[in-house]
Amino acid sequence: MRLLNWRRQTIVNAMPGLKPDHIRTPWFEFWRRFRRQPVAMTAGLFVLLLIVVAAIAPWVAPYDAENYFDYDRRMTDRR
């Protein structure tokens, strides 16, 4: 984990008065700006909903979409 935080450690060591809690990482800045935009939050929640629905789709509809109804067999049975 030390190798992943080498930039943060360099900044903290260069500025002794700066606490690690006050350093804003790019991810923190992204989340802060993203959180302030209601349209972005709504779109993000919609994307998460789509991912969840795609993950649980086999349990919601356990039938194969292409072979659920055999039209050829149904048409030959009717005379």
If you average pLDDT over residues 21-32, what whole number do you get? 80
The overall pTM is greater than 0.75: no
Residue 61 has pLDDT above 90, yes or no: no
In a domain, 1, yes or no: no
Print the domain residue range for 42.
Answer: 6-77
Cα–Cα distance for residue pair 12/23, rounded to 1 Å: 9
Residue whose pair of structure tokens reads 């080498």 in the numeric block = 6
In a domain, 54, yes or no: yes
Count of structural domains, the chain: 1
pLDDT at 4: 59
In a domain, 63, yes or no: yes
Cα–Cα distance for residue pair 57/68, rounded to 1 Å: 15
